[in-house]
Structure 1
Amino acid sequence: MGKENLHQSVEVIYKKVDECPLTDWQLTFFQLVYIISGTGALRINGNRRPYEPENLLLLTPNDYYSFDISSTTEFLLIRFSSSYVKEYKWQSIDHIECLLHYATHLSGCILRCQCDAVLVKAIVESLRSGIDHKDIYDEDLTRHFVNALIVIAARNISKIRPANLRENVDKRILDIIDYIQFHIFEPQKLKASAIAEVFGLSDTYLGSYFKNQCGETIQEFISNYKLRLIEHRLKFSDRRINEIASEFGFADESHLNKFFKKRRNISLTAYRKSQPSNLVI
């Protein structure tokens, strides 16, 4: 186990490998991983998720990861530092770093829009060509391509929102949702009173404001979001149920099972057994 460091603010690396040379290494930077060809699985923070060609994966600072490679895989790795994201003057996305950090909960392809998948493939081909055929102004052009990929990643991550979110939703609601997603493993910070204090609102106003904008109460949103993540753990990780309970701040396995069964009408163990075997490729 070790750490990977970035020696400049942006790096683009092409690799073609039959096996992963690193196991459970920790990042100190963001890394977009585009699968050009090949199959296998990404292990990230204890979860295992299959990958295939044209998947775009996003790893965030402090993630532990490795790849289980089933067939020879071509990767394009796009690496950039947290300071690069913070310092760049994005035109309309002022919460982009929080959006990117949210991807660590997804552990799979972040692309949700087919038109963006086509665009990403073209950008990757251009970056790949730039590696093989050096020319003047390459560094500037590479940064423009990387910036485009960052915005596309943020756009697709932002689509994972409440189903009834109003089309012209207030920016403050997006900030509240980002806050909830970022602190989903910290129950004390998810209390209505704690959220209201962070955003300078009263508990009562926060409740009515959130429901008006999102079509569900703030506690319903927290529970539903937490439920999706727990389902993901059950499907794509080999973590024991008591470990999942601890991760999400439940007192014990029994409390987690009660929470899950109330909403899915099935026990945690039964749900896990009902899923296809996603841990083996």
Structure 2
Amino acid sequence: MNRYTLHETFVVQQYSSDEWEGEPHKHNYFEIIFIESGSGHHIINGTKINYKKNNIFLLAPEDTHHFEVDRHSRFTYFKFTELLFSCKINLPDRKYWLKRIEQLLHQPNIIPGDVISHEEDRRVIWDIHNLVIKEFKEEKIYYQEIISNAISTILSIIVRNISEKYNSNQRDINVGDNKIDQILSHIRQNVYDNDLTKINYLADLFNMSQSSISTYFKRKTGESIHQYVTKYKMKLVEHRLQHTDFTIAEIAYQLGYTDESHLTKTFKKHFSMSPKQYRKEIIELE
């Protein structure tokens, strides 16, 4: 299987064809795909979905996808990495967007397919899509900042629609059968706030005793709530070490550790090296 790598922070590509010529592939970046015209099927991680004009798809790194074109189709791709929201462009809500990106990266419950449920949101995104293409082509002063903020807005709307769609589907499922998914989703969304992932808070939130929720969680996942939260935080630390220039102290503060030494001690247990050593090795491999 092909794996594509993006060497720029942000790229716009447009493609038009009667037949999809590419093979199923993965990549190391995000893609927002706009269906300008045509129809067919989009296969994402093995799930086959119809596509049509004005559909919008979001692909995260490691997603596998390709198209089957039925009617002549025109696609526009916005390809970008986390560096689009880095301090090099000085985006004011950089930490906020890092959380949103991480939520997309580590959210296994994202529903594949067209990501927009509300047509008014769709119209807004397509208007922003036109602005981004114009700025990307003309490269006038401040165009990078404008594109960064435009993509931030698009992702905000996409995350809202995905969340609403997911929560709506949750209400249609028996709570007893789906409670572990709800607990895991809550932890992932609130992992930055230690108080919201403590056993006593989770027990109250899900109407269980502390002993019951601990036993239930261990039975369903094979690990304790504390172990799950810690492992999930370590994924986020690893991601930030790889893709941001935050200091270790800043990352510790962002993820609720008391200080840098506390984070370093925990990180060493999972990776057998300090965060500084890990980042150094990543840099040397690039």
Q: Distance in 1 between matches of 2:43 and 2:21?
A: 13
Q: Distance in 1 between matches of 2:69 and 2:109?
A: 20
Q: Distance in 1 between matches of 2:82 and 2:136?
A: 23
Shift of 1:44: 1.3
Q: Distance in 2 between matches of 1:70 and 1:20?
A: 10
1:242 matched residue in structure 2: none
Equivalent residues in 2 for 1:217-256, closer than 5 Å: none
Q: Distance in 2 between matches of 1:84 and 1:175?
A: 31
Equivalent residues in 2 for 1:175-254, closer than 5 Å: 176-177=184-185, 179=187, 199-202=197-200, 206-211=202-207
1:96 matched residue in structure 2: 100
Shift of 1:116: 0.8
SS at match of 1:95: helix
Unaligned runs of 5+ in 1: 165-172, 182-195, 224-281
Shift of 1:207: 3.6
Normalised to the residue count of structure 2, the TM-score between the two structures is: 0.56
Shift of 1:153: 1.3
- Residues 61 and 85 (structure 1), Cα distance of their counterparts in 2 relative to 1, 3 Å cut: farther
Q: Distance in 1 between matches of 2:160 and 2:95?
A: 13
Given that 2:84 and 2:148 are in contact with CA atoms closer than 8 Å, whether structure 1 keeps it comes out as no
Shift of 1:117: 0.8
Q: Distance in 1 between matches of 2:95 and 2:118?
A: 21
Shift of 1:209: 1.3
2:55 matched residue in structure 1: 55
Q: Distance in 2 between matches of 1:83 and 1:134?
A: 18
AA matched with 2:99: H
2:121 matched residue in structure 1: 116
Moved more, 72-81 or 88-97: 88-97
SS at match of 2:158: helix
Q: Distance in 2 between matches of 1:111 and 1:16?
A: 23
Q: Which has the higher contact order (CA 8 A, sep 6+)?
A: 1
Normalised to the residue count of structure 1, the TM-score between the two structures is: 0.57
Consecutive aligned runs of 4 or more in structure 1 exceeding 4 Å deviation: 83-88, 90-94, 131-134, 173-176, 178-181
Given that 1:40 and 1:68 are in contact with CA atoms closer than 8 Å, whether structure 2 keeps it comes out as yes
Shift of 1:103: 7.4
1:153 matched residue in structure 2: 158
Given that 1:35 and 1:56 are in contact with CA atoms closer than 8 Å, whether structure 2 keeps it comes out as yes
Identity of aligned residues (%): 20
Q: Distance in 1 between matches of 2:86 and 2:48?
A: 30
1:270 matched residue in structure 2: none
Shift of 1:15: 2.0
Q: Distance in 1 between matches of 2:14 and 2:150?
A: 15
AA matched with 2:12: V
The C-alpha deviation readout for 1:104-125, integer Å capped at 9, x for no partner, is: 7422011122221110111112
The C-alpha deviation readout for 1:124-172, integer Å capped at 9, x for no partner, is: 12223345555443333222222211211112122122449xxxxxxxx
AA matched with 2:185: I
- If each structure's helix is expressed as a fraction of its own residues, which one has the higher value? 2
AA matched with 1:208: D
How large is the Cα RMSD of the aligned pairs? 3.6
AA matched with 1:47: T
Equivalent residues in 2 for 1:25-174, closer than 5 Å: 25-84=25-84, 89-90=93-94, 95-101=99-105, 102=107, 105-131=110-136, 133-159=138-164, 160-161=166-167, 162-163=170-171
